[in-house]
Amino acid sequence: MTFIIDKLVEHVRAAASFNDQTQAAPAAVLWTDKECQWQSAMPMIKQQLPELIELGDYNPGQRIGPAVWIKCAIARKVADLPLDRTPIIYLPGIARKEMRAIELCPEHLQPLAELQYRGFWWATPNTGRDWTVSGFLANKTIGLELDVAKDAKTQAALQNVLSNLLSEDVASLQGRRLESDDLNRLVADDPLRDLLLWLDDPEIISGWEAIKRTIFEQYCLATFGLAAQAANRELFAQLMCEQQGEWAALWIRFKDIASRLPGLLELLTSIRPNGLALEPSAYLTINQDDELTLQQALATLAGDDDEKVRTNLTALYQSHKGRAQWLWAELDLSPYLSMLVALNDVAQYTLSDFSGPDVETMAAAYQRQHWQADAAALRAMAAAGDDAQRKLIADVLAVIYTPWLTRVAENFQRLVQDFGYPGAPSDEVKEATGRYTVGGQLLFFVDGLRFDVAQELLARLEVKTRVKLSTHWSALPSLTSTAKAALTPVQAQLTGPLDSDSFEPVIRDTDQDFSSHHFKRLLAEGDWQFLEGVETGDPTGQAWVQTGDLDHAGHDEQLRLPSRISDILDEVEARIHGLLDAGWQNIRIVTDHGWLWVPDTMPKAELPKDAVAKRFLRCGILKSNVATDRLTQPWFWNPQVRVALAPGISAFTAGKYYDHGGLTLQECLTPVLNIQPKDQTPNTD
């Protein structure tokens, strides 16, 4: 079920999207609303957008304040805004043009005027005007496409019922014309929802019209035998959980909109069953008790050996798995259960190592099933909400996942030593990486899109598009400087200098580095468009797009990377759908390399400084006069340059949870996703 508020939150947050290759992160998103159309629903909207603050008279409890207070809030000095979200500033009664000329800007707005240069606007894309409520509801690109009458009576009704309307399921409103009578029914036609909204916030009734309050109070007495008084809230909640008679319908309605009722959820944290014959899944307190028990059990696992940890995980999973079907798991109120489910998956997928008679056979086995061990490890860590939970998960993964990861890496490296690396530099490989369809082809580069993460992206895209997943081998070493260049349409014009100290290719027959400037120039000379920001270009031509920097997040976040992956994929998915909507018929997602992520830091390997010209975390440029029995491979751009590679999952610097540049399946076997609109004839390329 998708609610209108979900679409609003998604669209407002999307206004903060930016291309980190060409843009700085916005300081804020500015939401102007000259006619104050959205203001009546701001309390509800703020519940879903904790990063939203409002210009007005000082009221910090409601996240409202004057311009100076807002400047302090976005500097994270007041208001306690989320650190991982771009602040959104709602400006009721203000038009965008009022902030354009600082010298003419009203005095009370002047402290905010400079944000138009450091921030982004939430405004209509073609005109830059304020989003009206009716315009938002009817706009095709947002995905609502509701048919809202334009008459004054309907427009006035929109303002009166906006909070109710935002809580409506989109599908229930599509396909019919919405007029004032339809909108007004939203106020009185769902008494169960009104009761739940009152249980969530008893003060809401003060904003209702007298007639609605009277109808509501009569309904509570006639249907449930209880007066709608604040003193009765706990009894209402208790009887709702018991689900007897008329109360069963209230519970069912509650399940539909529970995520929108934080106040009622807080109330349920103190409601316990009165008898033994009741349904335990209806009680948040029982779920909380089980979560605490599970937390304590998981905390004891780290000190056990591999076999015992696996046995205990299985037993815990059997004991708790039923809770996965409870409402509380759907509401993300069962984090330890989510961790347990993922940890149990890790335990199952790492029961045995895998290898093969050759490199390609081992890679095929990884693509078929073993990638799921990596995916489950990331899911387990992503379920952690704080560093204490991350430590707990890391300690368990260190027992069941890290040793498996090490053995698999060593198996792969032995096969490469015996049979060679499939992506070694050759004219054949370079030709394959550089062969792209002429006309209507868009290359979409995602930095660090590992194979298991690509599987998640595939599942998302399959809902609305036709997608085919394949793989290719990263150029060695698996660093962005080497491997990204090998994917570009201009790779034939590049070569590698013998005296490289950075693993970066240069433009053939010149001394010019392959910089962003020269990359764009060479693309233009080859009739390739370089699309930045939200540009969509000419879909009959060829284009290069880059969005979604997983690699940057990995280097910055390290152990916390799994918590960032979903947000980055949201950005990638939104950009893809925007390009398809603009008319692109063939989108190919490519990436330069994968990465290693370990829960307990990579072990340190030694690589003498006098043996290398330059050392990176997982590889180094070996000096030409140095003999070694270490694992080495030729550099993709110049085979005369040898690359020293860290053994297993080790690194040449201690303390890292994330890195790449080495020789493992996770770093080197990279995904390719070919995407087409669902209604298009499949491309057989």
Q: Using one digit for the tens of pLDDT, what is the confidence trace for 531-576?
A: 998 899 999 999 999 998 899 999 999 999 999 999 999 999 999 9
Q: Please name the residues in contact with 337: beta carbons below 8 A apart, sequence gap of 6 or more.
A: 290, 291, 294, 320, 323, 324, 329
Q: How many residues does the chain have?
A: 685
Q: Tell me 367's DSSP state.
A: I
Partner residues linked to 178 by β-bridges: 148
In sequence order, which ranges of 300-386 are alpha helices (DSSP H)? 306-320, 327-330, 335-349, 359-365, 371-382
Measured CA to CA in angstroms, residue 27 lies from 42, 87, 572, 630 at distances of: 21, 7, 21, 48
H/E segment holding residue 551? helix 550-557
DSSP H stretches of helix in 108-209 = 110-113, 115-118, 133-138, 152-160, 162-166, 170-173, 180-188, 191-200
Q: How far apart are CA 359 and CA 647, in angstroms?
A: 17
pTM of the model: 0.75
* Distance (Å, whole) CA 8 – CA 3: 9
Q: Can you give the residue ranges of every domain in the chain? A: 4-185, 190-271, 285-419, 427-595+665-677, 609-659
Q: Contact at 8 Å (CB) between 635 and 476?
A: yes
pLDDT of residue 431: 45
Cis amide leading into 477 (omega within 30) = yes
In angstroms, rounded to a whole number, what is the distance separating the alpha carbons of residues 132 and 471? 45
Distance CA 402, CA 465 (A): 36
pLDDT at 182: 78
CA distance 221 to 55: 41
Is 478 within 8 Å of 661 (Cβ atoms)?
Answer: yes
Within 592-676, residue ranges assigned H as helices are 665-668
Hey, CA dihedral for 417, 420, 421, 425, is it positive or negative?
positive
By the 8 A CB rule, do 315 and 359 touch?
Answer: no
Any idea which fold 427-595+665-677 has? Alkaline Phosphatase, subunit A (3.40.720)
Which parts of the chain register pLDDT below 50? 427-429, 431-432
